[in-house]
Structure 1
Amino acid sequence: MTRDDVVLRRAEDSDARPAADVWLRSFAAALPTVRCAHAEAEVRDWFARVLVPRYETWVAVSGNSVVGVMVLNGEELKQLYLDPTWRGRGLGDRFMALAKAQQPDGLMLWTFQVNTSAHRFYERHGFIEVKRTDGARNDEREPDVRYVWQPSPAR
């Protein structure tokens, strides 16, 4: 299927498990050196009990399969994960456009310092690095980076 065959829509309760599975596959593929702080069952439970019902969770659906997930909490972009087979096909760009449309006054996010492909992606979308930490405040205890996007002022 092509990028045009993918629908971005708000997640429903039934999307929680497939969205969690995308998150798990993507985390393993993109962050092989980072210890996942939670067991697979805990991640699936977190999607079902917290992310889908309480946050603005979006999924990318191709056919009957969830192939991407994005979670917003106001101006915080909390999650953006794509099935590894869908990376590099424009889906992340579509999610980013959606996030900016949902939060036109600005966005912020954290990503791990080792995730250099995420750094390139976010910087390409106008995000600026504003802070680095030792990771003491995240579950993985992995050094991270804070990024912020602000829209360009109208001229």
Structure 2
Amino acid sequence: MIRVANKDDLPALVSIWYEASVEAHDFIPASFWQSQKTNMQEVYLPGADTWVYYQDGRLAGFICHHQGFIPALFVDKAYQSQGIGQQLLTFLKTQYPVLSLAVYAKNSAAHRFYQRHGFVETQRKGCEHSGEEEVHMHWHQA
């Protein structure tokens, strides 16, 4: 089930984000992600429109939207490779006709995931927070 996130979801969302970020981005020190936890809970998540995927009585993943941009799509490790990310992305595509995002170039699995779902690369540039190269991607409804 996909529903709008609420403030009670924030601790679980931050936990999913942190664990997935550390695993998917092993080229960035875990201390970087640790240093971002407070901002994630107090600034980034509350400042975005966020939907959660709820399964088996718990939050399995989430997606955020902010001004045409997808700043976050994360799935709990226990629920990965079950189509939850695809369902969240498909849901968001029904809400907005144009979407953009950035994914780390070294995160080839995520890059391929977005390509499979119709996103095309528009540019590459360094991330202002981590210094790692990001691939900026765009999708629009046909």
TM-score (norm 1): 0.84
1:46-97, CA deviations, whole angstroms, 9 ceiling, x for partnerless residues?
A: 2432234321011112233211121100210110011122221110110111
Determine if the alignment matches structure 1 residue 69 to structure 2 residue 62.
yes
1:148 to 135, 138, 141: 138
Corresponding position: 1:101 with 2:94:
yes
- Contact 1:51/1:57 (<8 A) preserved: no
Q: How does 1:28-107 map to 2 (within 5 A)?
A: 28-36=22-30, 37-39=32-34, 42-43=36-37, 45-104=38-97, 106-107=98-99
CA contact 1:12–1:52 (8 Å) conserved in 2: no
Q: State the Cα distance separating 1:22 from its structure 2 match.
A: 0.2
Q: Does 2:103 match 1:111? A: yes
Q: Which structure shows the higher strand fraction?
A: 2
Measured in 2, the distance between the counterparts of 1:25 and 1:13 equals: 20
- Structure 1: which 5+ residue stretches go unaligned? 1-6
| Count of residue pairs brought into register by the alignment | 141
Listed as ranges, the gaps of 5+ residues in structure 2 are none
Q: SS at the partner of 2:110?
A: helix
Letter in 2 for 1:140: S
Which region of structure 1 is more displaced relative to structure 2, 28-37 or 79-88?
Answer: 28-37
2:129 to 117, 139, 144: 139
| Partners of 1:56 and 1:73 within 8 A in 2 | yes
1:127 aligned onto 2:119: yes
Task: Tell me which amino acid in the other structure corresponds to 2:58.
Answer: S
Identity %: 26
Query: Larger radius of gyration, structure 1 or 2?
Result: 1
Q: Is the 8 A contact 2:18 2:34 kept in 1?
A: no
Q: TM-score when scaled to structure 2?
A: 0.91
